[in-house]
Amino acid sequence: MKRVWRFTSEAAQASRFNQTRHQSNPKSIPILHTAKFTQRRTTTLRQPSIVLDLVSMFKVSIPPYERHLIDGIAILKNKLLCEASDSVRVATILEDNSELLLRSHPVFLELLNLLNSNPSLLLEVFNWRRKRHVSEIDACRNSMNAHEYSKGIKAAGRLKNIDLAVKLFREAEKKGVKITGTYNALMGAFMFNGLADKCHSLFLDMKKDPVCPPSVVTYNIVISVFGRLMLIDHMEAAFKEMAELRLSPNVSTYNYLIGGYISTWMWDDMEKVYQVLKSGPVVPNMKTYLLMIRGYAHLGNLEKMEEIYSLVRDHVNENEMAILRVMICAYCKSSDADRINKVEALLKLIPEEEYRPWLNVLLIKLYARENLLEKMETAINEAFEHKTAVTTASIIKCIVTAYFRLNAIEHLEIFTRRSVFAGWRICHSLYHCKLVMYGSQKDLRKMQNVLEEMDDINMNRNKRTLLIMYKAYWNSGQKSMVLKILGQMFKHGYTVPNDAFPS
C-alpha cells in the first residue's frame, strides 16, 4: 500500500503551527474494505494507557459559589469506598446525601471524578442517579447530562460491559444529551476492549453527525487504534486530517504516533516524532519518555535508552517494573562489556512478586553464555521454585554447553534429573553431553548409565548417539563394543566413520 503520509519534522511542524492553510474539502481517512479489522500479530510493546489518556475530557469544574462543597464530596467519597462491597449500604449513603449530590451537575460529576479509580463503585453511583425517581418539577434539574453519561460509558467500558456502554450511549442519544465527549467515551470503551472495528465504525458515524464534530481526543483514539493494528498508512492519514481540520495535536497524539511506530519497528519515524516534541511548544511527558526507553531498548540503542532513563530514573525505579524488564532484556541481548553489572543493578529494583518466567529464562541464557555457573544455577533454581518449565531447545542447549565448557559433569547430572522431574524440554543434547564428558574420562560404566537413562524416558539412540559411543569405545580399545556399535549403525542405515575399516 502506498504511504499516504510520511511523518517528517517539516511536515509535523507544518501540521501543528501553520494554521492559516485550511482546505475546504479535507481528505477522509481511508476506509478499510474489510467488514472487520484483521488483528495483526503484535509485539509485546505497550502503547500509552487507553482510558486515562483518551477519556479525560469531562472536566466540568465546580462553580466558585459551590467550592465550599468540595470537602464534603471528598468525605462522601471516602464513606462510599469503605462500604463499596455493600450495595444496600452504598444506596443508603447516597440517599442520605441526595440534597448535596442533586443540587448541581458539577457537584455530582466531581464525585464521579473522585471515583475514577473504582469503576464498579462509580457505575453504582451513576446508576443510583440514573434510576432515581424524580418529580416532574425536579426532572429538569435532576436529569442526567451528557458529561455524566460519558462518565458512565467510560466506567462500563473499563468493566468490560460493552452492552451497557452502548445502552447508555443510545439512552443519551434518545434524551438529546449526546455530545462529542459521549462519542469519545464509547470509542474509548471499544478500544479498551479491543473492538477496533466497532471503534472505527462509530468514528465514521460521528463524522456524519452535524452536532458532534470529532475532537483532538477523537483523533487520538483513532490514531491509537490504527497504531495498535499496525496500519501505519491509516494512522498517518488520521494525523494529516487533524491538521486539515485545524485540530492542534496534544502530547497524547504524539505519544500514540510514537507507539504506532514502535509497534511496527519504524525507528526513524519514532525518532522524528520525538524530536518534534522536543523542539515544539507541546513538550514530552512521562509517557513519552517511557515509550522512548522502550523503543530504544528494542532497537538496541543502549546509549539513547540510558540517556532517556537518566531523565526519569526515580519514577521508573519506583513505578515502572515493566520498563526495567525491557531494559534488562536489551542488556541481555547486547554486547555491552558491563552488561552483567547493569542487569544485576536493575534486578535489585524489581520486587520478588514481579517475577516473570520469560525474564528468568533470559537470565539463565545470559549467565550460561558468560560461563557464570553459580549465577546460572541460581536462576535455574528460581525457575524450578516457580515451576517454570523451559520448553525451548535452544535454552537447554545453551545450559548444557555451559556445563560442558566448565567441565561440570556432576552439576549437569543434577540438572538433568531435576529437568526430567520438572517437565522441562528433554533433548538429546543433555545426554550426548554426558556421554562425551564420560567418554573423555574413559568412564564406560557411567556411559552405560547414561544410555539406561535414555531408555527409561524412551529417548531413541540417534546417529549422533552411536557416533559418540563409537569414538568412546574406540579410544578405550573396546573392539567388541566398537563392532557392536558399527552393527547398530548399519542396521539403521547410518554412515559409518571413515576410520572404522582401515586399509
| Grid cell at residue 17 | 503551527
Which of these, 254, 248, 297, lies nearest to 277 by C-alpha position?
Answer: 254
Domain ranges of the chain: 427-503
- The list of the chain residues with pLDDT below 70 reads 1-68, 133-142, 498-503
Coil, strand or helix: which one is 83? coil
> Under the phi-then-psi rule, with left for phi > 0, alpha for psi from -120 to 50, and beta for the rest, what region is 40?
beta
Which of these, 103, 146, 151, lies nearest to 126 by C-alpha position?
Answer: 151
What one-letter code names the amino acid at 388? Answer: T
Asked if 450 and 431 touch (Cβ cutoff 8 Å), the reply is yes
User: What are the tens digits of pLDDT across the range 200-213?
Assistant: 999 999 999 999 99
Which of these, 282, 310, 276, lies nearest to 296 by C-alpha position?
Answer: 310
| Grid cell at residue 62 | 465546580
Give dist(CA 115, CA 128) in Å, integer: 14
pTM exceeding the 0.75 threshold for the entire prediction: yes
Residues 6+ apart with CB under 8 A from 263: 42, 43, 45, 47, 227, 228, 230
Q: Residue 35's pLDDT is what?
A: 35
Give dist(CA 324, CA 356) in Å, integer: 12
| Grid cell at residue 46 | 505497550
Residues 6+ apart with CB under 8 A from 446: 434, 438
User: What are the tens digits of pLDDT across the range 102-141?
Assistant: 877 888 898 999 999 999 999 999 999 988 865 554 544 5
Coil, strand or helix: which one is 140? helix
Q: At what angle do helices 409-422 and 393-405 cross, to 10 degrees?
A: 160
Q: Residue 492's pLDDT is what?
A: 78
Which of these, 209, 214, 201, lies nearest to 245 by C-alpha position?
Answer: 214
Q: Residue 475's pLDDT is what?
A: 85
State the number of CA atoms in the 13 A half-sphere of 489 facing the CB. 21
Helix, strand, coil abundance in the chain, percent, nearest 5:
70, 0, 30
User: What are the tens digits of pLDDT across the range 151-165?
Assistant: 999 999 999 999 999
